[in-house]
């Protein structure tokens, strides 16, 4: 985040945050967004392209970009990196076989310079499914401990099915972004 | 100036004139001095062709750049060929010198970038990054022995060697972690050939299930599942009761699937028929010759299971397939609707708990 964009945001009356949701296909990104927005989650097709949701949270306006995770369209993620304040990486905690894939894609994402200032929330989704890996186990597999020390990050277990953990995760993300950007309030 | 003005009342016009003339002359002199010194500066710049910005000429910049580049490359080549131990000891400081000259070169580019054509700036920067890369290569070619040399000397040195090789340790750790999790894999049928695999899910179970590496098997899963993963199946027939979450299918070849779920994703499927009931649009990716038809499964109690998982009504989505490899308005060549006369009739797996060859877990 450049100084100029920080100043611009301070000046802006409406306190907006741009949040990018990414992760492998079948991790539950769209379901999470619809769940926190209180919408029906029973009919969700795999995302072809992206969805944008604007959600009011406390005094902030969150612009959530939910981008499809199918392999064919992962290369388009980069088109959404610009001006991102918060990054949400969603993991299917029951999909043990593809955790390698998941780690590789996350590592690639974190190398991206345009995302270097973004706060990172990792949602270990599908905790309601028996046998899902715990957030701690996911953190170990993704080797989050070795992350760049300047990165603000947190991993939270959640279930888009029951709604558990979502508020905790997004609350941390919003407060963390606010403490960096709206520091003068 | 104010003093002058206050004096005007007492002084005659003549005196005022002379003062003004003197001031004018002084100004002219100052200006000409300035001009002279500027001229001198530019002459001295011209004569000193090695100065930082020799007349803003692209050609002289390129000459200097390529000369510096050549000398750095020569140095690098020399370092690479060093073999006798004496020079090897000095190698580190020489490589450091090269690194300094590379950053000098980088500075030269940035100082002159304001007048250079953008192509030259880009190609020079590319050359610099190539030089840096080959310096790194030489560094790792010639200096790796250092790590071992210092290993036993002092703990302090040891720490530096750790800092140099974190990647190795990290990946070791990941491998170790992974092998831990491979022991704790989710329930499923794996690595079977030519059997009938049967399992019933009680409503209290809220877990996921995996079918992987099966060849020529028939799979019958009854009851409600939360999630289903299917990976590497060949020549199999798979009949599954309702799945409350999603089904993820990868690498299947010459199979028949009968599935009901909220979401279905199909990757790398070939010559396979899918009989589906889906709440949302099924998707295929990297697949070919796959055909779709409606769900035709029956077992005792399936109505209740379908009801419980909100999959009781036909949605018609089995035919609304999105091909992520074919994002156009016209029909994808990778999938088609299975013709009526080639479809199987309703499959009844009610008595699947009793067949003699069945395998149960």
**Using one digit for the tens of pLDDT, what is the confidence trace for B94-142?**
888 888 888 888 888 888 877 888 788 888 888 888 888 888 888 877 7
Domain residue limits at B82:
54-143
pLDDT (tens digit per residue) in A152-169: 999 999 999 999 999 999
Report how far residue A132's alpha carbon sits from residue A98's, in angstroms, rounded to the nearest whole number. Answer: 13
When divided into structural domains, chain B yields a total of 2
Active site residue A70: yes
The band of B2, judged by pLDDT with boundaries at 50, 70 and 90, is very low
Q: Which of A94, A128, A141 sits opposite B186 (nearest CB)?
A: A94
Candidate from B174, B186, B281 with C-beta closest to A131: B186
Question: Is B116 found in the same domain as B167?
Answer: no
User: Is there a contact between B263 and B309 (Cβ–Cβ < 8 Å)?
Assistant: no
Residue with the two structure tokens 């998982």: B309
pLDDT at site A14 = 66
Same domain, B84 and B165: no
The answer to whether A135 touches A154, Cβ cutoff 8 Å, is no
User: Percentage of chain B surpassing pLDDT 70?
Assistant: 75
Q: Cβ contact (<8 Å) for A44 and B325? A: no
pLDDT in tens, B15-27: 667 778 888 888 8
- Domain's final residue, options B116, B143, B170: B143
**Domain limit, last residue, from B98, B116, B143:** B143
Q: What is the pLDDT of residue B358?
A: 45
What is the mean predicted confidence (pLDDT) over B199-216? Answer: 88
Q: Give the Cα separation of A17 and B95 in Å (integer).
A: 47
Residue B36 confidence (pLDDT): 83
B132 and B160: one domain?
no
Q: pLDDT per residue over B242-251, tens digit each?
A: 999 999 999 9
Share the mean pLDDT of chain B: 80
pLDDT of B163 above 50? no
Q: What is the CATH number of the domain that holds B119?
A: 1.20.58.1250
Per-residue pLDDT at A104:
95
Q: Is A59 annotated as a binding residue?
A: no
On whether both B136 and B276 belong to a single domain, the answer is no
Domain contains B32: no
Do both B254 and B183 map to the same domain?
yes
Distance (Å, whole) CA B226 – CA B207: 6
If asked whether residues B180 and B246 sit together in one domain, one would say yes
The CATH number given to whatever domain includes residue B211 is 2.160.20.70
The C-alpha atoms of residue B14 and residue B200 are separated, in whole angstroms, by 121
Beta strand pairing status for B237-253 and B218-223? parallel
Checking if the pLDDT of B355 tops 50, the result is no
Same domain for B162 and B219, yes or no, is yes
pLDDT for A177 beyond 70? yes
Same domain, B183 and B209: yes
CATH code for the domain defined by A15-180: 3.40.50.300
B46 within domain boundaries: no
User: Would you place residue A148 in the very low, low, confident or very high pLDDT band (cuts 50, 70, 90)?
Assistant: confident
Tell me which residue in A42, A72, A133 faces B324 most closely, judged by beta carbons. Answer: A72
**pLDDT-above-90 percentage for chain B:** 42
Residue A14 φ then ψ, to 5° = -70, 130
B267 and B334 share one domain:
yes
pLDDT of residue B156: 42
B221 falls within a domain: yes
State whether B128 and B158 are in the same domain. Answer: no
From the CB of residue B169, how many other CB atoms can be counted at a distance below 10 Å? 11
pLDDT at position B11 = 53
- Whether residues B95 and B158 share a domain: the answer is no
Of the listed ranges A159-163, B144-148, B301-305, B348-352, the least confidently predicted one is B144-148
Chain A residues in contact with B166 by the CB 8 A cut-off are: 146
Numbered residues of chain A with Cβ closer than 8 Å to any chain B Cβ: 25-26, 42-46, 48, 70-73, 94-97, 99-100, 103, 126, 128-133, 137, 140-141, 143, 146, 161
Distance, C-alpha B33 to centroid of its chain: 61
B127 or B52: which carries more pLDDT confidence? B127
B231 and A CB contact within 8 Å: yes
| B163 and B266 within one domain | yes
Q: Say if residue B177's pLDDT is above 50.
A: no
Choose among A42, A38, A73, A43: nearest CA to A53. A38
Q: Does the beta-carbon distance from A25 to B265 stay under 8 Å?
A: yes
């Amino acid at each position: 985040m450049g100084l100029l964009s920080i100043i611009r945001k301070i000046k802006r009356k409406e306190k907006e945050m741009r949040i990018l949701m990414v992760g492998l296909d079948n991790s539950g990104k769209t379901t999470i967004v619809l769940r926190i927005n209180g919408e029906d989650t029973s009919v969700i097709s795999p995302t072809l392209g992206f969805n944008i949701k604007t959600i009011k949270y406390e005094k902030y306006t969150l612009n959530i970009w939910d981008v499809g995770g199918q392999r064919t369209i992962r290369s388009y993620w980069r088109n959404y990196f610009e001006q991102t304040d918060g990054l949400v990486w969603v993991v299917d905690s029951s999909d043990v076989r593809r955790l390698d894939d998941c780690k590789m894609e996350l590592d690639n994402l974190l190398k991206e310079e345009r995302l270097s200032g973004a706060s990172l929330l990792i949602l270990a989704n599908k905790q309601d499914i028996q046998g899902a890996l715990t957030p701690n186990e996911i953190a170990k597999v993704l080797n989050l401990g070795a992350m760049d020390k300047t990165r603000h990050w947190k991993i939270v277990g959640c279930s888009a099915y029951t709604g558990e953990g979502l508020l905790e995760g997004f609350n941390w993300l919003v407060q963390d972004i606010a403490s960096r950007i709206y520091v003068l309030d | 100036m104010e003093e002058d003005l206050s004096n005007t009342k007492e002084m005659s016009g003549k005196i005022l004139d002379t003062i003004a003339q003197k001031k004018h002359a002084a100004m002219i002199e100052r200006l000409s001095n300035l001009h002279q010194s500027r001229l001198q500066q530019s002459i001295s710049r011209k004569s000193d062709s090695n100065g930082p910005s020799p007349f803003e000429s692209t050609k002289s910049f390129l000459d200097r750049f390529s000369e510096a580049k050549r000398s750095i490359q020569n140095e690098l080549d020399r370092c690479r060929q060093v073999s006798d131990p004496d020079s090897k000891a000095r190698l580190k400081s020489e490589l450091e010198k090269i690194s300094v000259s590379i950053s000098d070169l980088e500075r030269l580019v940035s100082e002159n970038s304001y007048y250079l054509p953008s192509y030259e700036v880009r190609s020079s920067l590319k050359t610099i990054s190539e030089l840096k890369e080959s310096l790194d290569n030489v560094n790792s070619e010639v200096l790796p022995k250092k790590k071992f040399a210092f290993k036993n000397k002092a703990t302090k040195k040891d720490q530096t060697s750790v800092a140099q090789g974190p990647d190795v340790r990290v990946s070791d750790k990941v491998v170790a972690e992974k092998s831990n999790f491979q022991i704790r894999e989710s329930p499923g049928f794996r690595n079977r050939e030519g059997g009938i695999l049967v399992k019933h899910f009680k409503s209290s179970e809220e877990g996921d299930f995996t079918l992987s590496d099966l060849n020529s098997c028939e799979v019958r899963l009854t009851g409600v599942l939360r999630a289903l993963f299917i990976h590497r199946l060949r020549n199999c027939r798979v009949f599954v009761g309702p799945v409350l979450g999603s089904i993820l299918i990868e690498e299947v070849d010459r199979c028949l699937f009968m599935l009901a779920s909220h979401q279905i994703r199909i990757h790398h499927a070939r010559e396979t028929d899918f009989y589906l009931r889906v709440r949302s649009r099924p998707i295929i990716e990297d697949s070919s010759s796959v055909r779709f038809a409606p769900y035709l499964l029956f077992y005792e109690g399936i109505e209740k299971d379908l009801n419980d998982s909100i999959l009781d009504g036909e949605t018609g989505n089995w035919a609304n397939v999105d091909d992520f490899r074919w994002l156009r308005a016209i029909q994808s060549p990778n999938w088609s609707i299975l013709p009526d006369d080639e479809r199987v009739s309703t499959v009844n797996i009610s008595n699947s708990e009793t067949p003699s060859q069945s395998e149960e877990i």
